[in-house]
Amino acid sequence: MTATTTTTDRTGAGARIEVRDLTKRFGSFTAVDQLSFSVEPGRITGFLGPNGAGKTTTLRMLLGLIRPTGGSATIEGQRYQDIASPMRMVGSALEATNFHPGRTGRDHLRVLAAATGIGDARVDEMLELVGIPAAARKRAGGYSMGMRQRLGLAAALLGDPKVLILDEPANGLDPEGIRWLRGFLRHLSRQGKTILVSSHMLQEVEQTVDDVVIINNGRLVKQGRMSELHGDAKTIVRTTDLDALAGALRVADVTSETQDDALVAATDDLRLIGDVALRAGLPVYELRAATTDLEALFFQLTEGTNRNLGDESAAPERDAITGQEGANG
Amino acid sequence: MIPAIKAELRKFFTTRLWWGMAIAMLVIGAGLAVAFGYFVTAGAESGAEGVPTGTAEQVANSVYTGGLSFGYLLTLVIGIMQIGSEYRHKTITSTLLAVPRRGQMMVAKVVALLVIGAIYGLIFLVGSVAAGALVLNAQGYSPFPSGGVFRTLALSLLVLGLWALIGLGVGILIPNQVAALLIAVAVAWIVEPIGGVLLSLWDFGRDHIVPYLPSAATQAMVNGVQQGGPDAAQPLSWWAGALVLAAYAAVLAGLGAWRTMRADIS
């Protein structure tokens, strides 16, 4: 396959996800609209958007659960349902509630393991890895949200897949669990695996992801490095005479603009600004590096146009079988 | 294909449903064999008014399959739940992530249900043949008057498997599991028998519709004693009954498979 030649030195550990012009209409409602993006191996990619943006519908199309109205979604160049042994290529955890309450967590994994020809030893190993070896022998009906997330993660990892697709994996985890998850995903991505993590909160994944794909109303808003989102470095400085300081900075080749009662300079060199102010004889009341307000940025990227202020699955969440009005053909 | 079938079987045997059903099968098989054993032998060959009539073979068949209509109701329920609980608890998502080719998933469910039907059939027969043979002996009847009895025993395994497939189809066509269970049981136990009686009042219905109803086809397969005298609908031969019941199973499971192939799972 062509994709393998484009991967890095960790060829074989990960696989490329490619989404092209993906579209899904449920009746007259367009949940996903000509969406294109790609996800690279060895990196953690955040799949972001407000509730109802079409994230879950996109992931379900990628996993062969929902039929696209148009376009394609492939992994290593293949549709999910065409992959010979899908759980060995792609591990996924879509919802934390997908368990039969009368079956133990361990048996849930054993059912999936049987379908892929994986033995019980691997099942127990995964339960150990996510930290629920004893609890998994109880019926899933009594599991906490955190337990369900961990069990879902264990299920996703059963086949030692090249690609990991996790839908809102941090939901229901306590701060300790979130920290654990972050370290765990880092560890997996260092092995070269492709990791796609959806979230409706940019801050939640800020410290976890390398790349972001942001969508809204089913359309791509932004794809790029997480670091790019922070934009160019800026420094905030307050003094008595903003215009005088701006002039002095211009002489030092630093552009700046006035914002409220402060000056925002296009540099991350705090020392330079301090020196310029000193030479100009201006007192400095505040001098700090500006941090990007990611929440505001995220809102700005996705604001105003949110078509349905309801929940994520408002449109596709109909009955599993009867909700097929949008199926093509 | 084999791993997918194994997964379906493991799904069934990892909840409490299976052993509850197993006990019920054994009790129903044995209990109704005893009840039928006394009832049928009381007058099967006497020809007296209002009592069932039949040969010694039909008497034995009736005793061993006395509880079969309860038994197939249970496998009907199992068939519904094998798919219905997947919708209800949304495990259909992880099932299709493990076996994304839906035709393969459906074939695995069909094969698993036939296997489950046969296993429950064996449990049922252990109870009904052990208890029934004792009663027949006690009443002075031969427990195994002819080879036809063994054909009936073998066919009852098929009966239970086919009703499970009918359940599979119903469970897909009515995705609400509770509604599917209520409707299926009501149709099999109330609507169909009453409809059969009403249709029997009409000559064409009695001759050309009633024998093809699922329960009548089932009874024809196991060839028991006849009730209702010469005016009753004549049953199909055992093989025609088997074909008719298999057709019901094929149509319902087929419709279910067709629908599953196209559905969006969200």
Paired with A164 in beta bridges are A91, A195
Does residue A249 share a domain with residue A161? no
Does residue A247 share a domain with residue A126? no
Instruction: State how far residue A224 is from chain B, nearest Cα, in angstroms.
Output: 28
Give residue B43's pLDDT: 60
Q: Token pair of B148, please?
A: 């036809």
As for the ipTM of the complex, it is 0.88
Q: Could you say which residues from 150 to 189 on chain A have a Cβ atom under 8 Å away from some Cβ of chain B? A: 155
How many structural domains are present in chain A? 2
List of chain A residues with pLDDT < 70: 1-12, 96-97, 304-329
Q: Token pair of B224, please?
A: 């028991």
Domain annotation covers residue A269: yes
Q: Do A326 and B264 touch (CB under 8 A)?
A: yes
Q: Do B259 and A321 touch (CB under 8 A)?
A: yes
* Per-state percent for chain B, helix, strand, coil, to nearest 5: 80, 0, 20
Give residue A9's pLDDT: 43
Q: Do A116 and B98 touch (CB under 8 A)?
A: yes
Domain annotation covers residue A157: yes
Give residue A318's pLDDT: 38
CA distance A125 to A56: 29
Does residue A116 share a domain with residue A95? yes
Domain annotation covers residue A314: no
Does residue A69 share a domain with residue A131? yes
Q: Say if residue B243's pLDDT is above 70.
A: yes
Domain edges within chain B: 2-258
Does residue A222 share a domain with residue A240? no
Q: What is the pLDDT of residues B167-208, one digit of tens each?
A: 999 999 998 999 999 999 999 988 988 888 888 888 887 878
Q: Do B91 and A63 touch (CB under 8 A)?
A: no
Does residue A160 share a domain with residue A85? yes
> Which CATH number does the domain housing residue A116 bear?
3.40.50.300
Q: Token pair of B126, please?
A: 């252990």
Neighboring chain B residues of A320 at a CB cutoff of 8 Å = 87, 90, 92, 175, 263, 265-266
Mean pLDDT within B30-35: 93
- Chain B contact for A2, CB < 8 A? no
Does residue A110 share a domain with residue A186? yes
Neighboring chain A residues of B266 at a CB cutoff of 8 Å = 56-57, 60, 65-66, 313, 316-318, 320, 323
Does residue A284 share a domain with residue A191? no
Q: What is the pLDDT of chain B when averaged over all its residues?
A: 88
Paired with A215 in beta bridges are A220
Domain that includes residue A76, residue range:
2-229+296-302
> Which CATH number does the domain housing residue A248 bear?
3.30.70
Q: Token pair of A83, please?
A: 């992959």
Does residue A118 share a domain with residue A249? no
Give residue A41's pLDDT: 92
Q: What is the pLDDT of residues B124-170, one digit of tens each?
A: 999 999 999 999 888 888 888 888 889 899 999 999 999 999 999 99
Does residue A61 share a domain with residue A160? yes
Give me the torsion for CA of A224, A226, A232, A233, rounded to 10°.
-170
Does residue A103 share a domain with residue A19? yes
Other CB atoms closer than 10 Å to residue A62's CB: what's the count? Answer: 27
Does residue A19 share a domain with residue A122? yes
DSSP reduced 3-state for A95: coil
